[in-house]
Structure 1
Amino acid sequence: MSYGELTLPAVFTGVNRKTGRFLKGHVPANKGKKWDEFMSKRAQRRCSKGWRNLDLYRRRPDTAGRCRKSVIAVMGDGRWLVFGYVGAAAEWLRQCHPTANRENISRCCRQNAAGGRNTDHGYYGVRFYFESDNVWTTKI
């Protein structure tokens, strides 16, 4: 080091510069503190707003319902019903079968779709089809 050269001491940040993770032994600044000690009331309200309906925040709330398709339910005697989306069909089927869910109805619709398997997949004796596939017109 030459005369008059300015050097700064290394500052320990507690963060791995390559991965961005905290190093072992790092203690967070808010450890053991209550919310009031490190967060304003406004920030507390904004944080707790996301917990009110946690199921919506676990998945992406902005994509729900954008790709919904109409569903046709065909009974064994040839009668059929039209539903706006799979969830409405599941609610209708739950009146008789409480364990019915929309995932299984959606699976039946996908398996009965055009270009799929040629077998009629049913759920609790009802066959489900997507209305846009037009496969259900030959099955009635």
Structure 2
Amino acid sequence: MPFRGELYLPPDFEPKTTERGRFRKGNVPFNKGKKWSDYMSKRSQKRAAKGWENLEKFRPAHPDNAGRKKKPIIAVMDDGSWCYFSHTTPAAKWCGGCRENINRCCKMNFARHVNSRNGKVNTDHRYMGIRFYFEADDIWTEKIKKE
């Protein structure tokens, strides 16, 4: 509290931090608890609703995970037996692992992945003791024939 006769200037409060661009703790947005009709025109509401549809359509996704562009996967065990999966999610449930790791294993076993040290293609990457391949690659057929 300032003394009598002193000029008091309240501190400047910026709703966003200048360093990171995040809202500060305790910030209340102007539209909290309001309907769209309270602060948007009909045209703006239509455009915003259309934006949600576009976000759903054109959302960037991993093409090999269980999204819109699924890829079938083959799991090859050490004894030569194999399993077919429509995409990575059922394969992850089956082996009790993570679908992102299975996806990475498939990409590492892809035919064009070359080891930088010796220049050879390594197609024996495993996850939880199982080799995973994309069905479109023909590498997994060779692995089954060898064993």
* Structure-1-length-normalised TM-score: 0.54
What is the TM-score with the length of structure 2 in the denominator? 0.52
Indicate the residue corresponding to 1:71 in structure 2: 73
Is residue 133 of structure 1 aligned with residue 123 of structure 2? no
1:108 to 105, 108, 111: 105
| Structure 1 stretches of 4+ moved >6 Å | 61-64
What number of residue pairs does the alignment pair up? 95
Q: What's the offset of the Cα at 1:122?
A: 0.4
Relative to 1, partners in 2 of residues 1:74 and 1:66: Cα closer, same or farther, differing over 3 Å?
same
Once residues 133 and 67 of structure 2 are traced to their aligned partners in structure 1, the CA distance between those partners, rounded to angstroms, is 18
Q: C-alpha displacement at 1:70, in angstroms?
A: 0.9
C-alpha displacement at 1:91, in angstroms? 1.6
Percent identity at matched positions? 47
Unaligned runs of 5+ in 2: 1-28, 114-120
Superposed, 1:74-89 pairs within 5 Å as 74-89=76-91
User: Aligned partners of 1:79, 1:66: CA distance in 2, in Å?
Assistant: 29
Please tell me the root mean square deviation across aligned C-alpha atoms, in Å. Answer: 3.4
- How big is the shift at 1:77? 1.2
In structure 2, what residue type is equivalent to 1:123? Y
Instruction: Provide the rounded CA distance (Å) in 2 between the counterparts of 1:106 and 1:68.
Output: 11
Q: Is the 8 A contact 2:111 2:123 kept in 1?
A: no
Amino acid of the structure 2 residue aligned with 1:73:
A
Preserved CA contact (<8 Å) 2:110 2:123: no
- Deviation of 1:33 after TM superposition, in Å, equals 6.3
Match of 1:121 in 2: 125
Residues of 2 paired with 1:32 and 1:70: CA distance? 45
Aligned to 2:93: 91
Shift of 1:93: 1.3
